[in-house]
Amino acid sequence: MPRSSEHSAPPVGALLRRHPHAGEPLSCVPVAEGLLNRGYRLATTRGRYFLKQHLDAPTADRATITRQHRATQRLHALGLPVAPPLPDSRGRTVAVIDGRCYALHPWVEGRHRDGAQLTTGGSRRLGALLGRVHTTLDRVMGPPPPGDRHDSARPEDTFTDIAELIRLARAHRPHGSFDALAEHRLRERRRLLAQHAHRRPPAAATAGWVHGDFHPLNVLYRGAEPAAIVDWDRLGVRPRAEEAVRAAAIFFVRPGGELALEKVRAYARAYRRAAGADGTELAAAVHRVWWERLNDFWTLRWRYQLHDHRADPQFPAVSALAVWWTREYDAVRDAFCA
């Protein structure tokens, strides 16, 4: 469940006693970005740090976080732009204080860039970077464990979800323009899904280690070059090419819901070269992510079922993308695969 947007003061003193090399605290300011965990810009007498409080229930236990930390340490050693956590005086990277997990990272000076701020060359570099992430994860994590199926959404389940979300949107008070748009998009999606239900893809055939949440808020830039890939909480085994497609659908979506296909093409070509992926693998990934978008309403779930409005600004473009992608399906597939 998404956390509250309210911030309580982290236990800076207790944490820094475990990191005596980090100095004495001067200030600790919440970082605005981020939906699942909490971050703070911590200034001390010896420098600046990023203090992360892990709250997302599926990934907030010590063993899971430690595994992520070890992966980023190995990736950093192999030259990828990541910011591994700083070990404390006993060599540990996870501090459990009052039942909560914290980690101290070096502060990386940089800014976030979405696809509109990337040139064609920058889009190419982004695709190559993600391809390197995937191939390097193979080296540091070893063969992925077998077993998990990655099934696609069932239309009958989605129709049930749509009916419930329409009911909640109609009943929302005060009822405003957002709620009216939500009702419109839900009915529109129901019609689209009925038309395309026969195109449900099979379970994914291959999977590998992925970052799990590769999007503009998790890549920091210094100038035109990526300075750090952050937030490895969802490191796991999933279809790799789908992460590439999913990331592009976030980076390169325009406010009206269209994808900047020339940038997608440059990004995808670089990804395929770096990852050793072929057009057939990308075509299957495009189909599965399109289907995922057609069946997904996570922003509305947050608003109406979890009463969390932080994802509301993303809804107009996300909902429009599913409609546009369905209409321009062949062009999108060609941009990823040609």
Q: Where are the alpha helices (DSSP H) in 51-176?
A: 62-77, 120-141, 155-171
Mean pLDDT of 310-318: 94
CA atoms within 13 A on the CB side of 147: 4
124 vs 144: CA distance, rounded Å: 27
Predicted confidence band of residue 2 (pLDDT cuts 50, 70, 90): very low
Mean pLDDT of the chain: 94
Range scoring the smallest mean pLDDT among 95-109, 146-160, 269-283: 146-160
302 vs 323: CA distance, rounded Å: 21
- Which pLDDT value is given to residue 57? 83
Predicted confidence band of residue 5 (pLDDT cuts 50, 70, 90): very low
The model's pTM: 0.92
- Which pLDDT value is given to residue 58? 85
49 vs 60: CA distance, rounded Å: 20
Bridge partners, 28 (sequence order): 42
- Which pLDDT value is given to residue 4? 43
Tell me if residue 7 falls in helix, strand or coil.
coil
Q: Where are the alpha helices (DSSP H) in 197-314?
A: 240-251, 261-275, 279-295, 298-300
Dump pLDDT digits (tens) for 51-96.
999 998 888 899 999 999 999 999 999 999 999 999 999 999 999 9
21 vs 86: CA distance, rounded Å: 10
CA atoms within 13 A on the CB side of 61: 3
DSSP classification of residue 69: H
35 vs 2: CA distance, rounded Å: 7
Stated as kind and residue range, the H or E segment containing 235 is none
C-alpha distances in angstroms, 277 versus 221, 259, 283? 26, 21, 11
C-alpha distances in angstroms, 112 versus 8, 35, 107, 249? 25, 15, 14, 16
Nearest alpha-carbon partner for 96 in 62, 64, 65: 62
Q: Buried b vs exposed e over 77-94: b needs ≥16 C-beta within 10 Å?
A: eeebbbbbbebbeeeebb
**126 exposed, middle or buried (CB, 10 Å; 0-12, 13-18, 19+)?**
buried
Dump pLDDT digits (tens) for 7-45.
578 999 999 999 999 999 999 999 876 667 899 999 999
Nearest alpha-carbon partner for 299 in 276, 323, 270, 319: 319
213 vs 237: CA distance, rounded Å: 12
